[in-house]
Amino acid sequence: MKLTHLTDSDYQIKPWKNGKGTTADLFMSPEGSTHDTFDLRFSMAPIVEDGPFSSFPSADRRITLIEGNGLNLDFGDNSHNLMPLKPFGFDTELAPMGSPLDGPVRVVNVMARRPKWQIAECRVVDQVSTELKDGEFCFVFTLGGEWSGSGGVTLGSREVLLAEDAGELELSSTTPAQAIFARIVPA
């Protein structure tokens, strides 16, 4: 299993595709890809005012609110109130209108392009214990605390651990804390 540890010095700040804000691209694959050509993309973004989400055709998104009281996602024919630490999935081509509730919010996005990848699971956890198969990919974003685990890795708050290919991944926090865990599998 290949493990990659990323910190804020590795994140790339870029304008949103629609130009209405900025995002921190935590990781994109394949290497050198853009917002139009990625297969996998993990990002973190503040949302400070009402505005449309960028459309990414053929990609699925799991969005998790990590700061703020809520975010209304209006899809035209329906809407969803995104609450803190409750991941929600949708087809990114739909590009909902996002409206922060009670002030600015911050979200973490997990995006996977069909037909190459499928997001098998995305949830908020207080520890990670999983076994990946060949070709699978795992994303962990810590929301606080100090974390340690497989391969002697240690992570601080708002850091990323990527795991690729077969193997067991164990990760836990030395203090009460949570992380966003996503497992992405070949489609």
Indicate whether 34 pLDDT > 90. Answer: yes
Same domain? 73 vs 98? yes
52 pLDDT band, cuts 50/70/90, is: very high
Of 113, 142, 162, the domain-final residue:
113
Give the pLDDT confidence score for residue 174 in this predicted structure. Answer: 87
Same domain as 29, residue 99:
yes
Q: Residues 76-100: pLDDT tens digits?
A: 999 999 999 999 999 999 999 999 9
The reply to whether 161 and 94 lie within a common domain is no
Domain with 160, as residue range(s), is 117-186
Tally of structural domains, the chain: 2
End-of-domain residue from the set 60, 87, 113: 113
pLDDT over 70 for what percent of the chain?
A: 100
Mean pLDDT of 29-52: 95
21 with 103, same domain?
yes
Mean predicted confidence (pLDDT) in 9-29: 90
Q: Could you read off the pLDDT of 145-175 as tens digits, one per residue?
A: 999 998 899 999 999 999 999 999 999 998 8
Say what the pLDDT of residue 21 is. 83
- Are 99 and 121 found together in one domain? no
* DSSP string across the chain: -EEEEE-TTT-EEEE-TTSSSEEEEEEEESTT--TTT-SEEEEEEEE-S-EEPPP-TTEEEEEEEEESS-EEEE-SS-EEEE-BT--EEEEGGG-PEEEESSS-EEEEEEEEETTTEEEEEEEEESEEEEEEPTT-EEEEEE-SS-EEEGGG-EE-TT-EEEEESSEEEEEEESSS--EEEEEEEE-
Q: Band of the pLDDT at 140, cuts 50, 70, 90?
A: very high
What percentage of the chain carries pLDDT values higher than 90? 93
The pTM of the full predicted model, rounded to 2 decimals, is: 0.95
pLDDT averaged over every residue in the chain: 95
Same domain, 127 and 103: no
Q: Are residues 21 and 71 in the same domain?
A: yes
Residue 16 pLDDT: 81
Boundary (domain end) residue, out of 57, 81, 113? 113
Q: Residues 106, 124: one domain? A: no
In this prediction, residues 49-72 reach a mean pLDDT of: 96
